[in-house]
Structure 1
Amino acid sequence: MKLRHGLLLGATFLAGAAAGPEIGHLLRSHGIASALAQETAPDAAGKAPAGRAETYRLLNLFGYVFERVRADYVEPTTDRDLINNSLNGMLTGLDPHSSYMTAKQFSDMQVQTKGQFGGLGLEVTSDAGLIKVMTPMDGTPASRAGIKTGDLIIAINGKSLDGIDLNDAVDRMRGEPNTKITLTLKRQGVDKPLDVTMTREIIHIQVVRSALYGKTAYIRLASFDEETESGMRDAFNKLKKQAGGTLNGVILDLRNDPGGLLDQAVAVCDDFITSGEVVSTRARHPQDSQRMDAHGTDITGGLPLVVLINEGSASASEIVAGALQDHRRSITLGVRSFGKGSVQTVMPLPGDNGAIRLTTARYYTPSGRSIQGLGIVPDIKVRETREDDSKFMLREGDLNHIIKNQGGTQGASQPRTDLPPIAKSIPDAPPAKWPAFDPTKPDTDFQLQQGLKVVQAMAAAPSQKRADNQ
């Protein structure tokens, strides 16, 4: 999830080894020809190893197709476009989260992390050639326009996205601030396409938001960037001071948090768990696997903690929810999370040739669970609305060619026996006359209101009372 350098240019251009003299020259100039020679060198008996011979045959096949497209395609093409398309297909064909970025796309991604780009505030993914919304970010044009997780973007400014790859679609959605853009959406359960017109803005994600409800601290994390943990700690201290030095509990809202930096997820857990495993990652090569433990201090002094999750909670937010749940440090409330149990590494390529985002590991919760394709199941299930629209929600398991869930603890998780008595009385959906959800009106947020009930009930129980929370 963090940037790291890797020498992958060999794999990048290796595919063109038999594509003609120009490609061969390019390979030699980058020192790749010798690597190919070693890969296909004959053994002591003068025969190429079976596996290497097959590799060489496939590289020749690629070279043949490359030449046919270059020579006979209806319009002239550039070698760069053909190679870029090949690289993108190579990576996106592996899983939904691996991809190739050209130099411009990589530069745009780096600018995006600084919040200095004109855009809409959408996390999107590609599935079977369709552009799907994963999460509309808080306080952005997309969020204010009512775009939802699972919406399909089928056209931009009236032009179809059929056959357009994810990176190109993202490029089309970006643009100069204060310019208009219209997305045509297909929403599950709605017969006709929806046209949504928005104005691009400089996207500054407010990663941490907070509020005080009575004596309960509410902290929302919109994503995990370099400032998330410090921002959360500052918010907690501010709310505690605002409450006169005494709080009765904390609600940590991870709904629609698409994730981010792994080290920030661990740091957030450090603020609630004093010791023990937070998460482990298992890579292809054992020496690249890691285990991350908590070495922190519970900043709340052991206050009741409720974590809110939904289908838009993914990746780093699932690491936090899973660790706090496994350590029995929190009560998780909401609906099943997205289910992204993999770790991606962004690897810049030498020679200003862009970068690849590559899935390099699976991660596991402290109890050994892999949530890949499954998600975090809440301890208390509470829907946002009366309609059970779970079949319309996009999750990892709905995407094509996802990586397998493997290596984790097998069998169903043991049911919790430590839930507060109020858990049995919490309804799983709003009553009939509950007002429509308005993000500016906390009283309309049914999941939040149920979380507050749980915190207050836990705080009132004798075993949960604290003389102080320092």
Structure 2
Amino acid sequence: MKRVVIGVVGIVLLVGLFSFTWLSGDHSFEISKNINIFATLYRELNTHYVDELSSEELIGDGIDAMLKSLDPYAAYISEADIEDYRTATTGEYGGIGAIVGKRRNANTVIMPYVGYPAHSAGLKIGDEILKIDNQNLEGKSSIEISELLKGQPGSDIELTIKRYGIEKPFDVSLTRSKITIDNVMYYGMYDETTGFIKLSDFTTDAGSEVKNALDSLKSAGATKIILDLRDNPGGLLDEAVKVANVFVEQGKEVVSTKGKMASWNKTYSTPYPTADNDIPLAVLTSRSTASAAEIVSGVVQDYDRGILVGTRTFGKGLVQATRPLPYNSQLKITTAKYYIPSGRCIQAIDYSHRNEDGSVGEIPDSLKVAFKTSKGRTVYDGGGIEPDLSVEPRKFSNLLYNMVSQNLIFDYATEYAFVHPEISAPRAFNLSDEEYSDFVTWVDGKEFNLSSQMDDAIVALEKMAKKEKYYDGMKPAIEKLKIKVGTLKENYLETFKDDIKFMLEEEIISRYYFHTGMMEASLDHDPTVIQAAQLLADSKAYSKILNQ
């Protein structure tokens, strides 16, 4: 089998050599020489290496390394991964309609999608899946579980479920369906006159979903709109144009692309009459707002169509296209860069050096170039889109994240939902002080590690002090610091009561109202949403930003 694979690789390489005849002589020779070296190297490895080699794995690693050296977005999509790629670009797949992941190493229903088989069959958040079609899942990865759950729409599947409060596992029969993940994951009224739209992706129909949400909100009395693009990774370029078109009049340039080949030099303009070119608009951005989401953000800013509130966007302005490869595989290759109407390029100047979260770091003023919006406001390139009003997201202590990662919040919400058949509407629900005290008592009975970065810092300080031979002099101060940190941790549940209650309430709400309920409940506690709503409500301040 391996010799057959090698032969196929050789044929593919040979075909590649003949395809280079249009290049200049020197360039063609360099390519031919290096491909010959690669093929010979692999043949020698396969013949003489001490262990058996996996052709697919080894060559796949070589391809990945080659593409990684170019930019972070070029990728090889194997035949095995092609369906996942289609799901990512279309938002559609065949399955049960639920997010399933690991909780305490158990395969757990994290979120069923309302109206799809998992939800219709009564699966609940917190349910553990023990078997799929009588196949034991012990030791299987989340990816393997996902593959087992997916299948042709109309095909049957049986799950063995373990549920909190029910002693014995039970079977649930479902029929897979075509799952279409909405781009607009939530829309509703923030207050009496402000509509809120959360756009999470740019897959097929994103533009029409935003337009429908806008029309519905205006019918409900919205005279101002907040469009939330935070953490939106982007997607289809055509859908970015259509989303921009919802708020920008027909015939306006949205984005242009410029690449090495003339065929990639294109300009995209709004193709349809706009849904609303006048309604006051605030677009929310974050460090994870990327690609198509940055195009829409930049268009709104460049045409002074609305205000941007939040943090600088990710800075991904590279265009990817897919090219067919042998054996049903594909190459996702970077072909051009995005330029928004002011002439700015969204792409970060240096995409190889970023913050830990992948976002653009500080950009020296000397590397920025100034551009003008339609009303003459000065804006800059250099990486991503800078908001008109900077607002940092709500931050939580690392101790709280430790509680979340150890599933304390998740498990308590599951138990709470078992005891309470119903709760009030999402924005009205609040845990009482008595209920919070019950949670504190519940936590006291659990074994968990409430560690923190402060503990790590103290350990590092001790090691350094001992290494540098000044530990004896610092020991009293270090011991006092340990005591202070210990006291903080002992009083943690009271000190950070508001933050913990917020997390608990969101998780509990998800048990009754799912994604939409969590989104709705978060609005009143979200500093970026609050700032945007206040600015929209102040017409003078809103107008001043757009005309400064």
Q: TM-score, normalised by structure 1?
A: 0.62
Task: Give the Cα separation in 2 of the matches to 1:214 and 1:56.
Answer: 67
Aligned ranges 1:184-203 → 2 under 5 Å: none
Tell me the secondary structure at the aligned position of residue 298 of structure 1. coil
Match of 1:93 among 65, 69, 82: 69
Match of 2:347 among 360, 364, 372: 372
CA offsets 1:343-362 (integer angstroms, 9 cap, x no match): 11123324x33111111111
Residues 204 and 179 from structure 1, CA distance in 2 versus in 1: closer, same or farther, beyond 3 angstroms? farther
Deviation of 1:70 after TM superposition, in Å, equals 0.6
Runs of 5+ unmatched residues, structure 1: 1-18, 123-135, 146-156, 160-168, 181-200, 376-389, 399-408, 465-470
Would you say the 8 A contact 1:40–1:53 is kept in 2? Answer: no
Aligned ranges 1:434-449 → 2 under 5 Å: 436=499, 439=519, 440-449=521-530
Deviation of 1:223 after TM superposition, in Å, equals 0.3
Deviation of 1:330 after TM superposition, in Å, equals 1.0
Deviation of 1:65 after TM superposition, in Å, equals 1.6
Q: Which residue of 2 aligns with 1:198?
A: none
CA offsets 1:92-133 (integer angstroms, 9 cap, x no match): 3321111112111112322453144688599xxxxxxxxxxx
Deviation of 1:242 after TM superposition, in Å, equals 1.7
- Aligned residues, how many? 352
Task: Give the Cα separation in 2 of the matches to 1:214 and 1:287.
Answer: 49
Q: Does 2:369 correspond to 1:411?
A: yes
Aligned ranges 1:296-307 → 2 under 5 Å: 296-307=272-283
Task: Give the Cα separation in 2 of the matches to 1:88 and 1:179.
Answer: 38
* Structure (1 or 2) with the greater helix fraction: 2
Tell me the secondary structure at the aligned position of residue 356 of structure 1. strand
Q: State the AA in 1 paired with 2:82.
A: F
Would you say the 8 A contact 1:20–1:63 is kept in 2? Answer: no
Would you say the 8 A contact 2:234–2:289 is kept in 1? Answer: yes
Task: Give the Cα separation in 1 of the matches to 2:395 and 2:46.
Answer: 63
Tell me the secondary structure at the aligned position of residue 313 of structure 1. coil
CA offsets 1:163-183 (integer angstroms, 9 cap, x no match): xxxxxx995684445899xxx
Task: Give the Cα separation in 1 of the matches to 2:205 and 2:76.
Answer: 27
Match of 2:29 among 53, 58, 70: 53
Match of 2:534 among 433, 453, 456: 453
Deviation of 1:86 after TM superposition, in Å, equals 2.7
Q: Which residue of 2 aligns with 1:252?
A: 227
Task: Give the Cα separation in 2 of the matches to 1:89 and 1:287.
Answer: 28
Q: Does 2:359 correspond to 1:395?
A: yes
Q: Which residue of 2 aligns with 1:344?
A: 320
Larger Rg: 2
Q: Does 2:84 correspond to 1:108?
A: yes
Q: State the AA in 2 paired with 1:221.
A: L
Q: Does 2:260 correspond to 1:284?
A: yes
Q: State the AA in 2 paired with 1:445.
A: D
Match of 1:217 among 195, 211, 217: 195
CA offsets 1:120-163 (integer angstroms, 9 cap, x no match): 599xxxxxxxxxxxxx99989xxx99xxxxxxxxxxx999xxxx
Q: State the AA in 2 paired with 1:66.
A: Y
Task: Give the Cα separation in 2 of the matches to 1:271 and 1:52.
Answer: 48
Would you say the 8 A contact 1:273–1:296 is kept in 2? Answer: no
Task: Give the Cα separation in 1 of the matches to 2:200 and 2:304.
Answer: 23
Task: Give the Cα separation in 2 of the matches to 1:138 and 1:96.
Answer: 32
Q: TM-score, normalised by structure 2?
A: 0.54
Task: Give the Cα separation in 2 of the matches to 1:344 and 1:325.
Answer: 24
Q: Does 2:312 correspond to 1:354?
A: no
Deviation of 1:260 after TM superposition, in Å, equals 0.7
CA offsets 1:251-283 (integer angstroms, 9 cap, x no match): 111001100110000011111111421100112
**Greater Cα offset, 269-278 or 301-310:** 269-278
Deviation of 1:232 after TM superposition, in Å, equals 1.0
Q: Which residue of 1 aligns with 2:241?
A: 266
Q: State the AA in 1 paired with 2:528.
A: Q
Would you say the 8 A contact 1:373–1:395 is kept in 2? Answer: no
Q: State the AA in 2 paired with 1:230.
A: S
Task: Give the Cα separation in 2 of the matches to 1:340 and 1:137.
Answer: 29
Match of 2:304 among 318, 328, 344: 328
Q: Does 2:12 correspond to 1:36?
A: no
Tell me the secondary structure at the aligned position of residue 338 of structure 2. strand
Q: Which residue of 2 aligns with 1:229?
A: 207
Would you say the 8 A contact 1:340–1:396 is kept in 2? Answer: no
Tell me the secondary structure at the aligned position of residue 263 of structure 2. helix
Q: State the AA in 2 paired with 1:72.
A: H
RCO comparison, higher one (Cα < 8 Å, 6+)? 1
Q: State the AA in 1 paired with 2:17.
A: L
Task: Give the Cα separation in 2 of the matches to 1:333 and 1:311.
Answer: 12
Q: State the AA in 1 paired with 2:317.
A: G
Would you say the 8 A contact 2:64–2:75 is kept in 1? Answer: yes
Task: Give the Cα separation in 1 of the matches to 2:355 and 2:209.
Answer: 35
Tell me the secondary structure at the aligned position of residue 336 of structure 1. coil
Q: Does 2:183 correspond to 1:207?
A: yes
Tell me the secondary structure at the aligned position of residue 370 of structure 2. coil
Residues 306 and 441 from structure 1, CA distance in 2 versus in 1: closer, same or farther, beyond 3 angstroms? same
Runs of 5+ unmatched residues, structure 2: 102-109, 115-124, 127-137, 150-158, 162-175, 379-386, 397-495, 507-518
The share of aligned pairs that are identical, in percent, is 28
Would you say the 8 A contact 1:211–1:219 is kept in 2? Answer: yes
Tell me the secondary structure at the aligned position of residue 441 of structure 1. helix
Deviation of 1:424 after TM superposition, in Å, equals 10
Task: Give the Cα separation in 1 of the matches to 2:193 and 2:324.
Answer: 47
Would you say the 8 A contact 1:374–1:397 is kept in 2? Answer: no
Deviation of 1:456 after TM superposition, in Å, equals 1.1
Deviation of 1:457 after TM superposition, in Å, equals 1.0
Q: State the AA in 1 paired with 2:219.
A: K
Q: State the AA in 2 paired with 1:250.
A: I
